[in-house]
Amino acid sequence: MVVGDFPIEVDTLVVGSGPGGYVAAIRAAQLGQKVTIVEKETIGGVCLNVGCIPSKALISVGHRYAAAQDSDSMGITTESVKLDFSKAQKFKDGVVSKLTGGVEGLLKGNKVETVNGEAYFVDANTVRVMTDNSAQTYKFNNVIIATGARPVEIPSFKFTDRVINSTGALNLKELPKKLVVIGGGYIGTELGSAYANLGSEVTIIEGADDILAGFEKQMTQIVKKGLKKKGVEVVVKASAKGVEETKDGVVVTYEANGEEVKVEADYVLVTVGRRPNTDEIGLEGLGLNMTDRGLIEVDKQCRTNVPNVYAIGDIVPGPQLAHKASYEAKIAAEAISGEKSEVDYLAIPAVCFTDPELATVGLNEQQAKDEGYDVVSGKFPFAANGRALSLDATDGFVKLVARKEDGLLLGAQIVGENASDMIAEMGLAIEAGMTLEDISMTIHAHPTLGEISMEAAEVALGKPIHMMTK
| Average of per-residue pLDDT values in the chain | 96
> What pLDDT digit, counting tens, does each position of 405-461 carry?
999 999 999 999 999 999 999 999 999 999 999 999 999 999 999 999 999 999 999
Q: Which domain holds residue 42?
A: 8-149+275-336
Same domain for 70 and 133: yes
Mean pLDDT of 168-181: 97
Residues 166 and 248 in one domain: yes
Answer yes or no: do 34 and 131 share one domain: yes
313 is in an annotated binding site: no
Is 273 annotated as ligand-binding?
Answer: yes
Instruction: Indicate the pLDDT class of residue 370, thresholds 50, 70 and 90.
Output: very high
Catalytic residue among 63, 323, 444, 446: 446
Does 109 appear as a known binding residue? Answer: no
pLDDT of residue 142 exceeding 80: yes
pLDDT of 102-120, one tens digit each? 999 999 999 999 999 999 9
Does the annotation flag 131 for ligand binding?
A: no
Is 188 labelled as part of a ligand binding site? yes
Taking the CA atoms of residue 453, residue 456, residue 457 and residue 458 in that order, the dihedral angle to the nearest 10 degrees is 130
Number of domains present in the structure of the chain: 3
- Indicate which CATH number applies to the domain containing 254: 3.50.50.60
Cα–Cα distance measured from residue 375 to residue 297, given in angstroms and rounded to the nearest whole number: 33
The one-letter amino acid code at 65 reads Y
> Which residue type sits at 426?
M
Report the SS3 class of residue 378. Answer: strand
Q: Is 168 annotated as a binding residue?
A: no
CA distance 417 to 414: 9
Is residue 183 annotated as involved in ligand binding? yes
Q: Is 138 annotated as a binding residue?
A: no
User: Domain check: are 263 and 161 in the same one?
Assistant: yes
Instruction: Compute CA distances 27 → 103, 107, 232, 300, 337, whole Å.
Output: 13, 10, 44, 18, 10
Please indicate, yes or no, whether residues 166 and 251 belong to a single structural domain of this protein: yes
Instruction: Output the CA angle 302-365-193, nearest 5 degrees.
Output: 75
User: Do 17 and 67 share a structural domain?
Assistant: yes
Task: List the one residue out of 38, 15, 36, 40 whose CA is nearest residue 26.
Answer: 36
- In this structure, the answer to whether residues 12 and 141 fall within a common structural domain is yes
The closest alpha carbon to 18, from 53, 54, 52, 43, belongs to 43
366 and 456 together in one domain: yes
How confident is residue 1, by pLDDT bands cut at 50, 70 and 90? very low
Interhelix angle 52-69/85-109, rounded to 10 degrees, is 150
CATH number of 455's domain: 3.30.390.30
Residue range 205-257, pLDDT digits in tens: 999 999 999 999 999 999 999 999 999 999 999 999 999 999 999 999 999 99
Please tell me whether 187 is known to bind a ligand: yes
Last-in-domain residue among 272, 298, 317: 272
Residues 398 and 320 placed together within one structural domain of the fold: no
Q: By three-state DSSP, how is residue 458 classified?
A: helix
**Beta carbons within 10 angstroms of residue 190's beta carbon:** 25
In a domain, 371, yes or no: yes
Angle at CA of residue 48, ends 61 and 297, nearest 5°: 130
Cβ atoms of 166 and 271 closer than 8 Å: yes
Domain co-membership, 226 together with 281:
no
Average pLDDT over residues 253-262: 96
Whether 350 maps to a domain, the answer reads no
- How confident is the model over 179-199, as a mean pLDDT? 98
pLDDT tier, 70 (very low <50, low <70, confident <90, very high otherwise): confident
Same domain? 145 vs 279: yes
Residue 56, annotated as binding a ligand: yes
Angle between helix axes 186-198 and 52-69 (nearest 10 degrees) is 40
Judge whether 446 counts as a catalytic residue: yes
Report field, pTM of the whole predicted structure over 0.85: yes
